[in-house]
Structure 1
């Protein structure tokens, strides 16, 4: 069991009280599946309804607090969470599989989101005058209501905090549903955060989405849903929430292309950035590079350089400081990626399994997988079209720019993309034509300003974030005229 924070194992939070679940699901260490890290509560539909009850009750008073009080409480909560980072890192690694470096970055980003969004709130909340001089019209904002935050297993911390924090700051109350595969760090950290807010502002339930998710989607008191996860699940949520016309924020699946132009530099830094863009969190990132299109004049050179870079990757238990890539998070995803790779090998494509096993004796005890580069593969291959969500990357050759853009856009997804060239104007020109929520030049990463984020287009998401972060997503604006 979790040694440091046993009080959250198998529990859920409603109206300031932690409840012990009647049924639980074990959370295993993906680096050693025999190790039980803790338990996730298997909440019932009644539990979720009670959580919504508490959030609806708390909303009546929390929504009327001043923006100054909300910001002050969030800043206080961020200060309380800071000392928890170091002691929470190992728990996060053990339940999720990330490396120590990746886990610590995620936790620190959560604190940063809390602090920066609190600083942003007061200026953003101010009314804005619009319209003609003959009539004074103010755009004013009000919180929307109870907000459901449904977060995924791949990056549960930052993707919970980036939705819950602005929702709370905007005056809403939240019911958070972390993924049952790794909810423990989320619960541990939110336990600290919740103590800075009135009871009922933050409520947390865990359990199977197919069993309890429909309660969050159909209850008319839930006025907004922020979901990060698969496109398939997102479509179900859209359908279930349509009856009460909820406001939806969705960051869904992706099949991100990277376009390597003929003049790309392809130096050491570039190749490292591409490797990180592919293999961050073992490739289990919605916005990871999932297919690479390289101009035929640079194809052999690129594959050779990326191969050397992948050969450096040490795969092992993320708790070890020398591990560069940890295991995959769960059996289902591990088996899915394995099967896709096996079918790719049988298709005749060249699959190069690279990297180094940190510990051969314990390798089979976890969901470990060496990274692979697939060359001599066509654009219409299964591996190119699927969101593989694992450490395998297809590299496809192209002959001209139009062909590359057409192939990059030939997908139902549109989350992120990147263009690799020494010509910034050319990168912008191509970016205008790529169907993606965000395009990076000579990188494929996240926005350094964590208030910024742009969900995808097409089947990769809904809504848009701005310089004000997610605050606008969790409010209703209205016009006041006199």
Structure 2
């Protein structure tokens, strides 16, 4: 179908109405910084207060709505969203920088989470009777107003994986998208919100410091779902502590891949390794950010990964033959460039390779070639920092104890991977690695949207997901007689 819902630019959504903000700023294309993709409203603290007030009012009736009706309505909304994917995929590429294939996959996964969470809701919501002499039931109920604060790196799926279960479990939401790329989220949430009562889904945009502070400190907000940096997560925890809110936080990562002496380094394995490093130009919390290789295979890994990086086609993601796009914004571009320059200044070897699709316009976007760094040590900035870009330090190790010690030597603990032909050994190492999930001969995401696992240490605050995230947005309580 041809959508009658063009994307909303420069406005914000409260109670089913779109409002003009007093101030706006431009959303630019990171592949061509001279191109303005749209505008984003810079909401004020009073706008946030209006959104929370509206959401709180809508909660009174929405939390008592019929479960089956919620699920069926979500299925209907999902089908209309599915029809909008093709016409919105280029918008996501233009504001985010992803390549077409990655952008389309993100949008389709939004549709999937709507259907799967709606299906999961009906069985999961049923009371559970516990064994024992006294009849005790575990029942669920909604919490109230939920704040969803989304990142710029994978804005669509990371927003929908929080908004959809929150709404299905009877909460109302106030969504704060990243200012760098809010337009596709606005386009999709405009449609989803139209299927539900006014005030169930509200969207405010603008400064993280203004909106985040207002959302996190307001006592009417009962749950905060945040994806972003660990430092921002700490600020949110401080702001939320006054009212002891429920926090669902996916924070930073510095994922280690450990390649053992017996690892299969055939063409497919190297491709999986490359994808683990360069997916979304490395702008993924759970991307590989450090590689530790047994010393007997070190030169082989460096050479094979270099050859794999050499063929990667980098450019504007709107072109179908491009395999890696730009970084999303100038701040991140400057940060990653600085990491590389400082690593070079400290004596490390920099190997930057790849195919520039359009060399003439290279400097008009936030492009960085895939970069391998050798000769860095464990305490160097490039190894300890979360690079969040297409750059990977590779370090040798001599024995397994050393490999585990090096991998665990980080304040982060999001994901890790072990590359070996010995699955039992991989399991033994996984038990020692301080990570929320460990992959064997791969470093990817969970394909089943029902599942997710929290990061350890400073990489997150939550528990494992088995029901599309519904668990995060409802309270369980006991009923006994």
SS in 2 for 1:187: helix
TM-score by length of 1: 0.98
Matched residue, 2:68: 68
Contact 1:371–1:391 under 8 Å retained in 2: yes
Q: TM-score, normalised by structure 2?
A: 0.98
1:5 deviates by: 6.6
> 2: CA distance between counterparts of 1:257 and 1:117?
31
Q: Tell me, in whole angstroms, the C-alpha distance in 2 between the residues paired with 1:237 and 1:311.
A: 41
1:286 aligns to 2:285 (yes or no): yes
1:83 alignment partner in structure 2: 83
Alignment match, 1:153: 152
What is the distance in 2 between the residues matched to 1:94 and 1:118? 31
Distance 1:157 1:479 in 2: 35
- Trace 1:297-336 onto structure 2 (pairs within 5 A): 297-336=296-335
Tell me what 1:235 maps to: 234
- Map 1:67-216 to 2 at 5 A: 67-132=67-132, 134-216=133-215
Displacement of 1:469 in angstroms is 2.4
Distance 1:24 1:7 in 2: 16
2:240 is equivalent to residue 245 of structure 1: no
- Structure 1 residue 466: Cα displacement: 2.6
Mapped partners of 2:227, 2:465: distance in 1: 18
For 1:41, the equivalent position in structure 2 comes to 41
SS at match of 1:197: coil
Secondary structure of 1:56's aligned partner:
helix
- Alpha-carbon displacement from aligned partner over 1:37-58 (angstroms, at most 9, x marks no partner): 0001100111101100111011
- Structure 2 SS opposite 1:104: helix
The aligned length equals 479
Tell me the residue number matched to 1:55.
Answer: 55
Give, in angstroms, the shift of residue 252 of structure 1.
Answer: 0.2
* 1:20 matches 2:20: yes
Query: Is the Cα contact below 8 Å between 2:7 and 2:186 reproduced in 1?
Result: no
Q: What CA distance in whole angstroms lies between the structure 2 residues aligned with 1:131 and 1:218?
A: 40
Separation in 1 of the partners of 2:419 and 2:100?
A: 29
Q: Distance in 1 between matches of 2:105 and 2:454?
A: 21
The runs of 5 or more residues in structure 2 that have no matched partner are none
Does the 8 Å contact 2:253/2:285 carry over to 1? Answer: yes
Equivalent position of 2:392 in the other structure: 393
- Listed one character per residue, the Cα deviations across residues 303-361 of structure 1 (whole Å, up to 9, x for unaligned) are 11111100011100000011110011000000000011001111111110110100011
Q: CA deviation at 1:376?
A: 2.2
Give unmatched runs, 5+ long, in structure 1.
Answer: none
Listed one character per residue, the Cα deviations across residues 179-238 of structure 1 (whole Å, up to 9, x for unaligned) are 000000000011111111110000000010111211111111100000000000000000
Checking the alignment, whether the CA contact within 8 Å between 1:465 and 1:473 is kept in structure 2 is no
Q: Does the 8 Å CA contact 1:465/1:472 hold for their aligned counterparts?
A: no
Aligned to 1:259: 258
The Cα offsets for residues 418-453 of structure 1, whole Å up to 9 and x where unpaired, read as 010111111111111111111111111110101211
1:108–1:308: structure 2 CA closer, same or farther, 3 Å change rule?
Answer: same
Q: Which runs of 4+ in 1 moved over 2 A?
A: 4-7
The residue aligned with 1:414 is 413
CA displacement at 1:9 relative to structure 2: 0.5
TM superposition shift of 1:381: 1.4
RMSD: 1.1
Q: Distance in 2 between matches of 1:7 and 1:32?
A: 20
SS at match of 2:359: coil
| Residues 7-41 of structure 1: CA deviation (Å, up to 9, x unaligned) | 51000000000111111110000000000000011
CA distance in 1 between partners of 2:338 and 2:242 (Å) = 38
Cα distance, 1:377 vs structure 2: 2.1
Aligned residue for 2:435? 436
| SS of equivalent residue, structure 1 residue 387 | coil
Whether 2:477 is the aligned partner of 1:475: answer no
Cα distance in 1 for residues equivalent to 2:44 and 2:35: 26
Distance in 2 separating the partners of 1:100 and 1:7 = 18
1:32 and 2:32 matched? yes
SS in 2 for 1:310: helix
Maintained 8 Å contact 1:255/1:385: yes
**1:300-379 matches, cutoff 5 A:** 300-379=299-378
Q: CA deviation at 1:464?
A: 1.2
Who is 2:444 aligned against?
A: 445
Q: How far has the Cα of 1:379 moved from its partner?
A: 1.5
Q: Work out the CA distance in 1 between the residues paired with 2:408 and 2:111.
A: 36
